[in-house]
Amino acid sequence: MEQLKAIILAAGKGTRMKSELPKVVHRIDGQCLVDYVIDAAKGAGAKDICLVVGYKHEVVEAEISHQDVQYVLQTEQLGTGHAVKCAGDFLTGEGETLILFGDTPLITAGTLKRLKEYHREKGNTVTVLSAMVDDPTGYGRIIRDENGNFIKSVEHKDANEAELASHEINSGMYIFDTKELRQALDLLTTDNAQGEYYLPDTLTIIKNKGLKADAFALENAEDITGVNDQQQLAEAAKIIDERKKTHS
């Protein structure tokens, strides 16, 4: 069996929440936002889970209900690629690694399983979870050729006009071949509009090696919706409540 790991990015402060608490420990129905993500990762088969923490990390570690996760500290925020690099020591061995966000409580084990199955079926080295949305403003875009084949993922700030026309967005969630992820992280540079280490650049690095990078598009963006402010927290709580009723 392939070994599946998960890295969950949970270092952000979440200034728009207008709260002293780190964003990922805000609660819905008694559970921290990040607990929902850990549940989804475990449900998809992830045995080892590592949280990249930063802002008030001791609060995050105290609030989370899961005791069996590892933590690494990201002392400065230099982009998503840097956050994953911080967990470099966790990326040992063979198998696959999921990259997830601590502020997306709507992600489900079912969606992550579908991502994993698609990734394996297609023989991909990396697969990004994407979705079609009406308004893609601010999101990284998935760029495909005329036959629908994945070309690249480009950040909103770095995209040209043609690329901005894409309504398929990069959720920031991925499944990687662990060994290839390790190698690609070593090759990341900060040569971009933000001067940060972008995780999506690993897709191009992997593709340039002649390996398969791809995107798995969800019909519905609900599962990948992040929580950035109190209104989005309330909306996510409503969806989780409805889901619980449907499954009860």
List the catalytic residue out of 16, 114, 120, 182: 16
Type of residue at 23: K
The structure tokens listed for 146 are 């005329």
Q: Any idea what the Cα angle at residue 112 is, between residues 111 and 114, rounded to 5°?
A: 65
The structure tokens listed for 82 are 């840097």
Taken as a whole, the chain contains a residue count of: 248
Q: Evaluate whether 14 touches 34 at the Cβ level (below 8 Å).
A: no
What 8-state DSSP symbol labels residue 109? H
Is 16 a catalytic site residue? yes
In the block, residue with structure tokens 């060994």: 179
Q: Evaluate whether 24 touches 102 at the Cβ level (below 8 Å).
A: yes
Q: Evaluate whether 16 touches 37 at the Cβ level (below 8 Å).
A: no
User: Which residues are catalytic, by number?
Assistant: 16
